[in-house]
Amino acid sequence: MGRRKNPHPKRAVNARTVLKGEKEEPLVLCSRIPDEDDDFEANHHQIQKEEEEEEEEEITVRKGAKRKRGHECDVCEKVFRYPSYLAKHMRTHTKEKPYKCDVCEKRFRYSNGLKYHTRIHTNEKPYECDFCDKAFRDSSSLTKHMRIHTNEKPYKCDVCEKRYRYAQSLRYHMRTQH
């Protein structure tokens, strides 16, 4: 299978209201965390992608507006444009995982989670670095790796203004230095 290069893998997700003449307000999103038995490193990218997809599928409405335009979750009150999006979203509450890996039988809520997981077994790494021979399973890992070559340090300490390549490094700095 050919490798894909993605120099700008991050994309902005912007959900807004579509009510004419009304002030736009974003819908408050509830956060999800992986199950206790999930491996954080292996699932972090998958969960981030799933949340981005849900945000794209979600419609927002102004506070107090009638929600007849969409399909509302009875648990967290998120509103979705289509019933199928709501059904997919409900898996976050029911913990249903209908997609199963044929190799290790690990289960996933979403098909894209299974697709990403399968790369672990096949060792598929479709995201190649343009500067060296390294390749990665997901675009976010390539983006983080590229910071080594570009010397980009997007995370800044608000106290001492020291900069870091990775959010984890800044968190460690804050815990140990301030």
The reported pLDDT for the residue numbered 9 is 39
Q: Is 95 left (phi over 0), alpha (psi -120 to 50) or beta?
A: left
Q: Is it the case that residue 71 has pLDDT exceeding 60?
A: yes
Examine the pLDDT at 145 and tell me if it is beyond 70.
Answer: yes
pLDDT at 25: 38
Q: Delimit the domains of the chain by residue range.
A: 1-95, 132-177
Q: How confident is the model at residue 46 (pLDDT cuts 50, 70, 90)?
A: very low
> CA torsion 122→128→133→135, rounded to 10°?
-30
Query: What was the pLDDT predicted at 147?
Result: 97
Range with the poorest average pLDDT among 34-43, 55-64, 151-160, 167-176: 34-43
Mean pLDDT for 16-25 is 34
Q: Which residue has the tokens 């809520």?
A: 109
Report, as an integer, the average pLDDT of 139-167: 97
Closest to 30 (Cα-Cα) out of 88, 86, 75, 69: 75
**Average of per-residue pLDDT values in the chain:** 75
Of residues 103 and 16, more confidence is placed in 103
Query: Confidence class of residue 68 from pLDDT cuts 50, 70 and 90?
Result: low
14 has a pLDDT exceeding 80: no
Q: Do the beta carbons of residue 17 and residue 24 sit within 8 Å?
A: yes
Q: Which CATH class is domain 132-177?
A: alpha beta
Is residue 123 pLDDT above 50, yes or no? yes
